[in-house]
């Protein structure tokens, strides 16, 4: 669990320090879940900064607007520094692998630019699975 | 003060009639020799081809021409149409009439090689089928016989930022190792074409369907080279390859280390593939 906690700290730090999110995230406010098969990462963003980041939160504390669900293997491949083709983004992995969009897609689309950048930060931090 | 640096690329307008209405079309050109007509993808504009237009070697061999489709870049919708009262849907018939009208207006003869990408890549296949004797050959980039799925309302949803949504969906079409500045330039061009993106995808994802007609393409009359980047997720290289395999005599090349927008996301990687495709076409094209 120590490694997972360290990963959560690293992902939070990478998010809050990211120049792109700082430049464009003034209205990046939403809650989403990254379901990685073996772990669920629950992130609440408020104006471009992490408000809450929880790993495997209890069900009654896991409310979110939208989410991504994929196998642990897909997440690991997406989190490589230079992902191989079709693991290089959420749309590519959705079209060709097992990544699925869940929840309110309108909120996803409203936050798409920042969210896509946010997911790409996994290439720097890796994933907790 | 440093001397100003002028590009050799010249931009002009020409008015042509399409579907009974005048269109003032912006085009850019440079060079001498057998023409290349470079057509931008849906939602983009001529700037997508800026590196090819500024390629000294390419323009020493070819007259390189690119134009903006109406509603894109500097080409307005026709002033004779109340276009704001219409739902925009690009059609193959409009593309054909416009392309042939531009070829006539700019004196692009039968030695012209048509190079199209995305929607224009699909249209390149249609040109090879229906206008085989009008072109020396076609390079169909990021194309397939049928490429459904992307004609959706997210590209024009009033509760979302259509410019960012469309451009960001296309972000994933590029290779992560392509230079950031070039990928962001491509993203930026997409934001500029956001009003036309959905309508362009009508042609790309709905109307275009050559699945039963690929056998009508005669590569002895009009050679076909298909190019698709390995990071393009739609159409994937597998889809493009499957299309090429159903066109007797067509070539397919997978572009390594690059995505759906080779000419704008990483021109140095794309350039050798383009030159090779042109060499194949000029070697195989019939004498005219």
B221: helix, coil or strand? coil
Residue B2 included in any domain: no
Q: What is the pLDDT of residue B1?
A: 80
CA distance B162 to B171: 14
Element (H, E) at A3: helix A2-17
CA distance A113 to chain B (A): 6
Supply the range of the domain harboring residue A104. Answer: 2-125
CA distance A99 to A36: 10
Q: What is the pLDDT of residue B41?
A: 97
Q: What is the pLDDT of residue A60?
A: 87
Q: Tokens 């012209």 appear where? A: B112
Residue B1 included in any domain: no
CA distance B33 to B259: 29
Q: What is the pLDDT of residue A62?
A: 84
Smallest CA–CA distance from A96 into chain B, residue:
B233
Q: What is the pLDDT of residue A59?
A: 84
pLDDT in tens, A46-60: 999 999 999 999 988
pLDDT in tens, A69-112: 999 999 999 999 999 999 999 999 999 999 999 999 999 999 99
At residue A61 the predicted structure's pLDDT band, cuts being 50, 70 and 90, is: confident
Residue B226 included in any domain: yes
Q: Which two tokens stand for residue B136?
A: 């020396």
pLDDT in tens, A114-128: 999 999 999 999 999
Q: What is the pLDDT of residue B215?
A: 97
State the CATH number of the domain containing residue B63: 3.40.50.1820
CA distance B130 to chain A (A): 31
pTM over 0.90: yes
Q: Answer yes or no: is pLDDT of A1 > 60.
A: no
pLDDT in tens, B87-140: 999 999 999 999 999 999 999 999 999 999 999 999 999 999 999 999 999 999
Chain B contacts of A92, Cβ < 8 Å?
A: 172-173, 231, 233
B48: helix, coil or strand? helix
Q: What is the pLDDT of residue A2?
A: 59
Contact A85 B230 (CB under 8 A): yes
Number of domains present in the structure of chain B: 1
Low-confidence ranges of chain B (pLDDT < 50): none
Q: Does B85 touch chain A (CB under 8 A)?
A: no
Number of domains present in the structure of chain A: 1
pLDDT in tens, A5-34: 999 999 999 999 999 999 999 999 999 999
Chain A contacts of B164, Cβ < 8 Å?
A: 112-113
CA-wise closest residue to A32 among A44, A18, A40, A16: A44
Supply the range of the domain harboring residue B203. Answer: 14-284
Residue B133 included in any domain: yes
Count of other CB atoms within 10 angstroms of residue A19: 8
CA distance B162 to B158: 8
Spell out the alpha helix ranges (H) of chain B.
50-53, 56-61, 92-105, 119-130, 162-171, 180-192, 194-202, 237-245, 262-265, 267-284
What percent of chain B has a predicted confidence (pLDDT) above 90?
Answer: 99
Residue B240 included in any domain: yes
State the CATH number of the domain containing residue A16: 3.30.1050.10
Smallest CA–CA distance from B164 into chain A, residue:
A113
């Amino acid at each position: 669990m120590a490694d997972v906690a360290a990963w959560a700290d690293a992902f939070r730090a990478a998010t809050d320090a990211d120049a792109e999110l700082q430049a464009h995230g003034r209205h990046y406010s939403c809650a989403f879940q990254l379901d990685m098969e073996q772990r669920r990462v629950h992130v609440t963003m408020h104006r471009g900064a992490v408000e809450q980041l929880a790993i495997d939160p209890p069900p009654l504390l896991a409310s979110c607007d939208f989410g991504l669900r994929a196998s642990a293997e897909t997440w690991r491949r997406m989190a490589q520094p230079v992902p191989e083709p079709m693991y290089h983004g959420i749309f590519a992995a959705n079209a060709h692998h097992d990544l699925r969009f869940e929840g309110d897609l309108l909120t996803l689309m409203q936050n798409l630019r920042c969210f896509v950048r946010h997911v790409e930060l996994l290439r720097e931090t890796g994933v907790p699975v | 003060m440093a001397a100003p640096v002028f590009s050799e690329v010249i931009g002009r307008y020409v008015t042509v009639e399409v579907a009974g209405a005048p269109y003032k079309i912006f085009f850019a050109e440079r060079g001498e020799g057998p023409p290349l007509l470079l057509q931008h993808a849906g939602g983009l504009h001529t700037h997508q081809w800026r590196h090819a237009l500024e390629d000294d070697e390419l323009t020493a061999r070819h007259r390189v021409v690119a134009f903006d489709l109406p509603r894109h870049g500097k080409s307005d919708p026709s002033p004779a149409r109340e276009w704001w009262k219409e739902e925009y849907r690009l059609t193959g018939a409009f593309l054909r009439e416009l392309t042939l009208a531009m070829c006539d207006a700019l004196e692009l003869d039968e030695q012209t090689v048509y190079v199209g990408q995305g929607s224009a890549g699909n249209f390149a296949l249609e040109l090879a089928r229906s206008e085989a004797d009008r072109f020396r050959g076609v390079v169909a980039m990021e194309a397939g016989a049928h490429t459904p799925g992307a004609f959706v309302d997210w590209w024009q949803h009033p509760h979302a930022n259509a410019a960012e949504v469309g451009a960001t969906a296309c972000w994933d079409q590029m290779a992560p190792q392509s230079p950031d500045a070039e990928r962001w330039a491509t993203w930026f061009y997409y934001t500029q074409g956001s009003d036309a993106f959905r309508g362009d995808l009508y042609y790309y994802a709905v109307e275009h369907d050559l699945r039963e007609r690929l056998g009508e393409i005669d590569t002895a009359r009009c050679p076909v080279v298909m190019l698709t980047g390995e990071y393009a997720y739609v159409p994937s290289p597998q889809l493009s390859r499957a299309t090429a395999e159903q066109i007797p005599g067509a070539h397919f090349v997978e572009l390594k280390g690059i995505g759906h927008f080779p000419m704008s996301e990483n021109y140095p990687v794309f350039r050798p593939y383009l030159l090779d495709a042109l060499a194949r076409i000029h070697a195989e094209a019939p004498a005219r």
